[in-house]
Chains A and B, each alone.
Chain A
Amino acid sequence: MNFITDHLLSIILFSPLVAAAILLFLPEQQEKLIKWVSFVFSLVPFGFSLALWFLFDKNATGFQFVEQYVWYAAINSSYHVGVDGIALSMVLLTTLLTPLAILASFSIQHNIKSYMILFFLLELGMLGVFLALDLLIFFVFWEFGLVPMYFLINQWGSEKGEREIWGGIKVPARTYASFKFMIYTMAGSLGLLLAIQMIGVVAGTFDIPTLFERWTRLDKPLFGLDISTVKAIAFWAFTIAFAIKVPVWPFHTWLPDAHTEAPTAGSMILAGVLLKLGAFGFLRLVLPLYPMEAQRYAPALAFLAVMAIIFGAFASFGQSDFKRLVAYSSVNHMGFVVLGIAAAAYAMGGENATIALNGAVLQMFNHGLSAAGMFFLVGVIYERTHTRDLNEYGGLFPLVPVYGGILIFTSMASLGLPGLNGFISEFLVVRGSWPIFTLFTALAMIGLLFTGAYILKGIKQVLHGPLNEKWVGHLTEINEREIFVIAPLMVLMLWIGVWPAWILDVINRAVLALLS
């Protein structure tokens, strides 16, 4: 038992890898077996995360369940993992969404084995980022996560659609989207990579807790430049990398493409977890490593966040593609996360900052639930209708009442209806930011208004209005498996909406530590 508790994080981290390895040796043709084995094994990390959740000492500060082993001694990088409250909630979110996404993927038709293996590798990459306490390890997992996602979009993405690229050549949309996703994120991480290298050279270590001490105290000129200039450049290198991932306006253009073309489960994970990586990067690295710069540039960041909120909402409202609508809603919702972070960075402590940051972290979690749910529901209807065009739907409520109910419930959570989770977190963010960035927050309210508008538009176009006759008799109700996927998400949405304390307790301690 000691072994398990001592190595709990490593076990959580690498159990997906074990699952992938086991899948590798299963025969390709046994699709059913592969699906169920994948599902069962995806529950393993979830189980351990639950254990982690309960073993986690909510009152202790600092990182817990720390493990450290020699990895790359020559450049002073080690395999160093640990969790705090923020990471813990993200780990829980990841391990929760993965089994659900796998369950949602049971309808995948071809190459199920490779698909599942890639999915587990994706989970590995995401968990690694949340757990890493070494800058290099952080980057390793950060980049590594791209690869499975690329292939998931490229291979199992929607088969329709073409995009014209330069030179007038037409390529399949999924190829275009996956390529854009990969290059965008890689280009974004390039600055991150360079900055990490630079930090490694200057500080002589990659250990994140050590860097918190060492890097922030540097005051000698570097490379013939003033230290503050160097830090400012490095700050922006980090920020842009994370901003692309979040994504913050104007770096968001890869996201609608990627989301639209990704398979349902891919979108769930993409929206549910991958976007959180960027926000998590802000929390884990940018704020502690660059407190001064973060404070100085927080208004700019807040401005971008507000733009993301407003434009995300507008863009979403303007879509006629259901999946694109949901995709842009992610831009909108993640804007609140960034707004909260920027506000906290600007205030540097104090009650408002704490509230804003708590809200941001909770919003990350909540958006993970609702966005995953929304994408899943889009996927459910797409599988039946093979279209995502909102104008093709209409008046479906009578045909699929259960599905309709679920869709409305989830949409409301996304909208921020009081009593459901979205409300809590968005309220916290707004409440915290208001005294700090009054104008920005006020502007963000416009976005909030349009959030309501586009969500209602979506519901209206799909469920209400005149019935599109061609679906009569063709549209089947949501099945048990699919209900089983969405049910846990709905439970959590409601639970957090009604009684958020259980998760805020965990988050709050880490937030306080971060702001001290």
Chain B
Amino acid sequence: MQFPILSFIVFTPIVAAILIFLIPEDRKNEVRVAALAAASFALVLSIWVYFAYDIQAGGYQFVEQVSWIPALGISYKVGLDGMNAPLVLLTGVVMFTGVLISWGIDDRPREFFTFLFILATGVFGVFVSLDLFMLFFFYEIAVFPMYLLIAIWGWKETREYAAMKLTLYLFVGSVIALVGALAMYFTAGLGTFDMLELEKAGFSREFQILWFPFVFIGFGVLGGIFPFHNWSPDGHVAAPTAVSMFHAGVLMKLGAFAALRVGLMLLPEGAKFHMGWIILLTLVNVVYGAFIASVQTDFKYVIGFSSVSHMGLVLMGFATLTKQGFIGSGIQMFSHGVMTALFFAVVGMVYDQAHTREIPKLGGFRKVMPIVAVCFIIGGLVSMGMPGFSGFIAEFPIFMGVWSSYPLIAIIAAISIVITASYIIRVVGRVFYGQMPQEFEGHVHDVTVLDKIALLFLSFILVALGVFPGWMVPLVESGVEQILRLLGGA
């Protein structure tokens, strides 16, 4: 029996959550240290497992299987392949940096970290699940802490509304997908929720065509697919910084990933049938999201809508059903996760100092927080798909994929690049450069060392991936091969 590394990764956060909750309430520093220790541990494990994956061998590795409800054929089965390995790493990264920049939370940090870590367990769980039921199980675990985190520690103006909206949207999406999953289970008649078995079930074409939209769109809601995206900017804006990071950085990937794993991989024929119109939805995401982002005046809404736009690219890559598209989407999920975590971290830091997020009221922050400015610019360059940064590595193949299936859409989608560039430049110019308003002079200070570490760490990843895509691309490629086999074979 090999070391159950994936289970360790999945359950480290929740065990930590329980332990943290046992710490007395007033020992806030101990709580923080414990959280950081747990997050570091999870990060190290996820880095280790990422690099321990044997690309040559391919397929699912580190597979663990424990029977869970034998009567229904449910088992706790986890495994790592080329598609989810980067996402596990991403979650580790976001969790680690999220804890770092949440150091300053003073209202019930114990509860905060407890919920945050429950969320982390859910996220890790979804990524590595190879069992359909377990996927839902962890998926829901990821949803409810979100509500509390946003409602309790969020932005006072909109937190209650946004938290509820987000939770209900996600819940609706997931339960609709759940019904589809149950239909798959019973139609397959294999008596198992094991996705590797279900892949071979050979569903009839009619069945796939009927159920694919439910499953894909159901999960797509969490991926922010148009027209079900508008929970996401509200949620992002209302959430506390670390939660926004998790939310945009990881949770949205959860939707996209589940749509891929359950929708595309189990119902490939359905995917082929429906992708023609789904790609149009994603096109709206990409262009409309970018456009809306460009007219926002709230710093956080800009980033929130940019996430909608970028997640649209992920789904668009899936919708091309081509190798390049999948590879690009796989990398985009990672790249966007890190980038948007960086963005939200920066927004949070600016807001903490300025107590406003209205872009016209900000200015000149570079002078007091130079490193934050540099990191934000790096994130911005990633966002606009600037070569040399990870965004380019991710978006380029997506566009290639779109070219080979829908050339016209590639051309239209490309408009978003210019729009993105324009709003990123505007934000950078307004917030970090220019004249600092009078009222901030002397009141705004640089961020803490921990914050800087977090930002630099994220920036480093973005640049490293942009310059040397070799440490991620072959891995993703090996995962994509599996998907293509399913698409080709069905």
Task: Using CB atoms and an 8 Å cutoff, list the residues of chain A in contact with chain B.
Answer: 70-75, 136, 139-144, 146-147, 150, 154-155, 175, 179, 182-183, 186-187, 190, 193-194, 197-198, 200-201, 223
Contact = CB atoms under 8 A, between A and B. Distances in A.
A198 B474 contact: no
Contacts of B469: 71-72
A150 B425 CA distance: 10
A190 B417 contact: yes
Contacts of B417: 186, 190, 193
Interface string B382-397: 0010111000110011
Contact of A197 (B400, B421, B429, B477): B400
Which size class do B's interface residues fall under?
A: 35 or more
A146 B381 CA distance: 11
B327 A75 contact: yes
Nearest to A146: B386
A143 to B, nearest CB: 5
Contact of A144 (B386, B399, B422): B386
Contact of B474 (A74, A143, A146): A74
Given A175-B429, A194-B411, A144 B418 contact: no
B489 interface: no
Contacts of A139: 387
Interface string B408-431: 001100110110011001100100
Contact of B473 (A72, A141, A223): A72
Contact of B387 (A140, A154, A183): A140
A154 B433 contact: yes
Given A143-B387, A146-B386, 4 more contacts: A72-B393, A72-B469, A147-B386, A186-B384
A201 B393 contact: no
B400 A200 contact: yes
A403 to B, nearest CB: 34
Contacts of B422: 179, 183
B387 A74 contact: no
26 contacts: A72-B393, A73-B474, A73-B477, A74-B323, A74-B397, A74-B474, A74-B476, A74-B477, A75-B327, A75-B400, A136-B396, A140-B387, A140-B388, A150-B425, A154-B429, A154-B433, A175-B433, A183-B422, A186-B421, A194-B414, A197-B403, A198-B403, A200-B403, A201-B324, A201-B404, A223-B407
Contacts of A183: 418, 421-422, 425
B433 A75 contact: no
Contacts of A141: 387
A131 to B, nearest CB: 15
Contacts of B415: 190
B433 A73 contact: no
B464 to A, nearest CB: 14
Interface of B: 323-324, 327, 381, 384, 386-388, 392-393, 396-397, 399-400, 403-404, 407, 410-411, 414-415, 417-418, 421-422, 425-426, 429, 433-434, 469-470, 473-474, 476-477
Contacts of A140: 387-388, 392
B424 to A, nearest CB: 10
B297 to A, nearest CB: 13
Give the 7 A-B residue pairs with the shortest CB-CB distance, closest first. Answer: A140-B387, A201-B403, A201-B404, A143-B387, A144-B388, A197-B399, A74-B477
A179 B473 contact: no
B66 to A, nearest CB: 35
A150 B476 CA distance: 34
A190 B397 contact: no
Contacts of A201: 324, 400, 403-404
Contact of B324 (A70, A75, A179, A186): A75
Contact of B421 (A70, A74, A182): A182
B199 to A, nearest CB: 23
A170 to B, nearest CB: 12
Given A141-B387, A179-B425, A197 B474 contact: no
B400 A179 contact: no
B387 A190 contact: no
A194 B399 contact: yes
A192 B15 CA distance: 52
A186 B420 CA distance: 11
Contacts of A190: 414-415, 417-418
Contacts of B473: 72-74
Nearest to B421: A186
Nearest to B326: A74
A189 to B, nearest CB: 9
A202 to B, nearest CB: 8
Contacts of B386: 143-144, 146-147
A501 B421 CA distance: 45
A309 B483 CA distance: 56
Contacts of A154: 429, 433
A73 B478 CA distance: 12
A436 to B, nearest CB: 34
Contacts of A186: 384, 417-418, 421
Max chain A Cβ within 10 angstroms of own Cβ: one of B386, B403, B411, B422: B403
A197 B425 contact: no
Contacts of A136: 396
A150 B417 CA distance: 17
A223 B405 CA distance: 9
Max chain B Cβ within 10 angstroms of own Cβ: one of A71, A73, A75: A75
A439 B415 CA distance: 39
Nearest to A188: B418
